[in-house]
Structure 1
Amino acid sequence: MTANKINGKSNKKIIYVLLDGIGDLPHPSLNNMTPLEAASTPNLDNLARNGSMGQVISVGRGIAPQSDIAVFHMLGYDFKNKLYVGRGVVESIGCNLDFIDGDLALRGNFATVDDKQKIIDRRAGRIILKEEAISLCDTLNQNIHFSDKDASISIVPTVAHRVTIRLRHAKKKLSANISNTDPAYDKIDGMGIAKTTSETMVIDKSLPQDNLEESLLAANLVNEFTQQIYPILDQHVINIKRKSNGLSPINSILSRDAGNKFPNYQPINEKYGLNVASIVDMPVEVGISKILNMDAIKAGNIDDYEIKGKQAAKALNDYNIVYVHIKGPDEFGHDGDAVGKKINIEEIDRRFFGSLINNITVENPTFLICGDHSTPCIKKSHSDDPIPLLISGNRVKKDGSTRYTETSAERGRLGTLVGINVLNTAINLIT
């Protein structure tokens, strides 16, 4: 299917940028401004003056979503029900981990715990070299053993502290209807929901959520491998070296968002009658791109903003919609670093949006800019706070906005939208 033969909509050209965790709240370190308000963003401000703003609740009020379910919703897929396959499956697809129906896939975080399983750092300080992650996962895969000899495990490192876990039983299917060991997230109808956390968290025990044998088996296997990680890793040569260098040891894994079936969702090109490409980095977004049959475009590493801007501009010549996911702001939100988030936003404005705008050659492009969720620095976690939305271009009615901020979004003419309606709204706004 080519971009010039899709339901007569080939003249619509949209750059869809999701700034991960961009929404925020006033912070004392920024004179009670949000990072967006405090940042100098001339490129975003120019786009705001040429468009209309609004705000978005990506999944639903009262729901602090994880990125997987939030991105699906922001692409127009409503999974607030038990049809969702779970983040573990999405990430396993994203990192090419062999997965079949009846396996159990989970998202995991390398973490630092003490000998009582109290969590010291949910991300092991974030400073994890790729070779460290590979070596530690190899050690775990070789040394974790189950009481049930028909069970096996594969742990694959992805990016920084993130891993994907696959449990398989040779004779039985495993149920995904189990709870997380990561105490920072609940699992509701297959969706991962951020919880309010405290400074004294311990690893939770995975519990079956029904009385089925396959749920009890799955929970038991998760608990078995979780209990083995600390004694295997704490005195690993990598951790001895890390401790001597003042770094957090990588001695546990927090798991969440189990899934046990391969997804079968409508391809995004069919859904909108438009050709869609993606520029994404993280396993979860890569998985979503694959599941929805988007063409993936490689554009450097996570923070290669200039390359991403240039590649997005180039791709718009061949596609109707180019979806770009930029990770940076979310991590500063989780770390509670409002100043760092402000600086990162300024970098994205200068390096990504500057490159994007300077390299676009198609006539009358539309810029759709939003986030997948808010990650307020003051909360250090995802929240259900509204996300600023901007739809900008010569074919979009202007509403007098002058800046891309939460305050401008609240006043914008687009009002408050739910995530599943955002992309359709942008498509229909183009005159």
Structure 2
Amino acid sequence: MTEARMVYVLLDGVGDLPHPDLGGKTPLEAASTPNMDRLAVRGAMGEVISVGEGIAPESDIAVFNMLGYRFGDEYPGRGVIEAIGTGADFKDGDLALRGNFATLGGSGEITDRRAGRNVGRPDAEAVSRELEEGVRFSKSGASVSVIPSVGHRVTVRIRSEGGLSGSITNTDPAYERLRGMGVAKDASGPMRIDRCRALDDDPRAQTAAELVNEFSEQAVKILGDSGTNERRAAAGAKKISCILLRDAGSRRPVVEPIEKKYSLGFSCIADMPVELGISEVLGMEVLEAGGTCDYEQKAAAAAGADGSVYVHLKGPDEFGHDGDAAGKTSSIEDIDGRFFGPLLGAISRDETAVVISADHSTPCISKGHSDDPVPLLVSGALAPPDGTVRFTEAQARSGMMGRLAGADVLDAALNRIRS
């Protein structure tokens, strides 16, 4: 057997649907992508349902699946993965939740789920301290840590004597829970903070729901009086009125390390807390590769990595959430020119396979994750071409690799590039 080196790239939320602003094309179809086109000509394509039919997944469970890990009812929840990724002090029995800093209107309706996205680090840290210092739980000994990460994203960890259960509902109305996974809901209508409920009769879940509701209610009051918000309003920025919570968990996952699973050395290039948490759980070394949009640095790190490397590029997803089809197209072109261009100039495609896909689709017309399939391309090394010429959704539908489940992608790719 010939050992193949792989650069496995997931373009966050790159899948899309035809958009009127792009003349009925998807952003991938509208974008000029000469470097991905070069890879497509030398590769084979298919399409992928990352988690399951009818499931519009969040990034955490989608990435786990795209790396070959299926979870049943035992999935611990995104909150735990993000807590691990932020380096939070988390232990089994703590309650960890993913949160969004969000903006409320005068009657309590959610006017922006991400507080305008422009939540700088000083503001995020200031309101987090205000919440940690101001929240008082009714249960003696209960405490909370609020850990801001990137932009509007935040992790909340609640600790209580006797431990807590993650078997509770979200307060974020845009997501629901399905077997421990976060699943996107229709977020187009008016929304308000949901009340957290226990999903079973476990007293630890009942207590967890009570503490989450106390935190949420007090957070609105504390942030309503926040000096940070007064400064934000004076500067024309959206207020941080609350934290929308979702995907609770209360234990660390235990899984087979990725190197053992595939008998293949794997490192990782990632920026966001959820991807960093996944990397730690799976035992992947995270390579230094600059900031989120430092694509040339990421290309250099991927080209120079020992063994195979998994690369997660965030760019397209946020434009999908914002409904910005032109911006998403530009983001794809930026990645093609500044990541794939330098990468192809630095590797031998006879020795290194490049695999490109996505964790999920984020259509601009719906401004949220969807269950639409995402394209898959396996190019170079020993992988024979199938006549496809562009990395697009339509080309993926006609590719010889057919339709795959996300958890089968790496096995299918390795089968094509190993002999």
Q: Which residue of 1 aligns with 2:238?
A: 248
Superposition pairs for residues 14-33 of structure 1, below 5 Å? 14-33=6-25
Which TM-score applies when normalising by structure 2? 0.98
Q: Which residue of 1 aligns with 2:408?
A: 421
SS at match of 1:116: coil
Residue pair 1:50, 1:394 contacting (<8 A) in 2 also: no
Q: Which residue of 2 aligns with 1:221?
A: 211
- C-alpha distance 199-244 of structure 1, shift in aligned 2 (>3 A): farther
Partners of 1:238 and 1:344 lie apart in 2 by: 32
1:119-172 deviation digits (Å, cap 9, x = unpaired): 010000001111111111111111111111221000100000000010000x21
AA aligned to 1:214 is R
SS at match of 1:369: strand
Partners of 2:349 and 2:19 lie apart in 1 by: 39
Q: Which residue of 2 aligns with 1:128?
A: 119
Residue pair 2:147, 2:156 contacting (<8 A) in 1 also: yes
Q: Which residue of 1 aligns with 2:173?
A: 183
Residue pair 2:350, 2:381 contacting (<8 A) in 1 also: no
Q: Which of these residues, 295, 300, 306, is aligned with residue 290 of structure 2?
A: 300
Residue pair 2:103, 2:115 contacting (<8 A) in 1 also: yes
Q: Which of these residues, 323, 330, 355, is aligned with residue 310 of structure 2?
A: 323
Q: Which of these residues, 67, 78, 81, is aligned with residue 75 of structure 1?
A: 67
Superposition pairs for residues 228-377 of structure 1, below 5 Å? 228-315=218-305, 318-319=306-307, 321-360=308-347, 363-377=350-364
SS at match of 2:231: helix
Q: Which residue of 1 aligns with 2:148?
A: 157
Deviates more, 1:407-416 or 1:225-234: 225-234
In the TM superposition, residue 363 of structure 1 has moved relative to its aligned partner by 4.9
Q: Which residue of 2 aligns with 1:51?
A: 43
Residue pair 2:350, 2:380 contacting (<8 A) in 1 also: no
Partners of 1:309 and 1:371 lie apart in 2 by: 17
1:31-61 deviation digits (Å, cap 9, x = unpaired): 0100000000000001000000110000011
Residue pair 2:83, 2:96 contacting (<8 A) in 1 also: yes
SS at match of 1:135: helix
Partners of 2:206 and 2:115 lie apart in 1 by: 30
- C-alpha distance 98-202 of structure 1, shift in aligned 2 (>3 A): same
Q: Which of these residues, 51, 55, 58, is aligned with residue 63 of structure 1?
A: 55
Residue pair 1:88, 1:107 contacting (<8 A) in 2 also: yes
Runs of 4+ in 1 over 3 A off after TM superposition: none
1:1-33 deviation digits (Å, cap 9, x = unpaired): xxxxxxx66x31000000000100000100010
| % identical equivalent positions | 53
Gaps of 5+ in 1: 1-7
In the TM superposition, residue 365 of structure 1 has moved relative to its aligned partner by 0.7
Partners of 2:177 and 2:107 lie apart in 1 by: 25
SS at match of 2:232: helix
Partners of 1:229 and 1:419 lie apart in 2 by: 38
Deviates more, 1:228-237 or 1:275-284: 228-237
AA aligned to 2:166 is A
Q: Which residue of 2 aligns with 1:379?
A: 366
Residue pair 1:313, 1:361 contacting (<8 A) in 2 also: no
Partners of 1:372 and 1:63 lie apart in 2 by: 12
Partners of 2:138 and 2:107 lie apart in 1 by: 23
In the TM superposition, residue 428 of structure 1 has moved relative to its aligned partner by 0.6
Partners of 1:355 and 1:199 lie apart in 2 by: 43
Deviates more, 1:229-238 or 1:261-270: 229-238
Partners of 2:200 and 2:188 lie apart in 1 by: 28
AA aligned to 1:425 is A
AA aligned to 1:424 is D
Residue pair 1:374, 1:382 contacting (<8 A) in 2 also: yes
In the TM superposition, residue 361 of structure 1 has moved relative to its aligned partner by 5.2
Gaps of 5+ in 2: none
AA aligned to 1:63 is I
Partners of 1:351 and 1:234 lie apart in 2 by: 43
Report how many residues are paired: 418
AA aligned to 2:16 is D
Which TM-score applies when normalising by structure 1? 0.95
Deviates more, 1:270-279 or 1:206-215: 206-215
Q: Which residue of 2 aligns with 1:407?
A: 394
Q: Which residue of 1 aligns with 2:80?
A: 89
| 2:183 is the counterpart of 1:193 | yes
In the TM superposition, residue 245 of structure 1 has moved relative to its aligned partner by 2.2
Q: Which residue of 2 aligns with 1:109?
A: 100
1:234-253 deviation digits (Å, cap 9, x = unpaired): 23222112212221101100
Q: Which residue of 2 aligns with 1:391?
A: 378
1:292-328 deviation digits (Å, cap 9, x = unpaired): 001110100001011001110000xx21x20000001
Kindly report the root-mean-square deviation, in angstroms, between the aligned alpha carbons of the 2 structures. 1.1
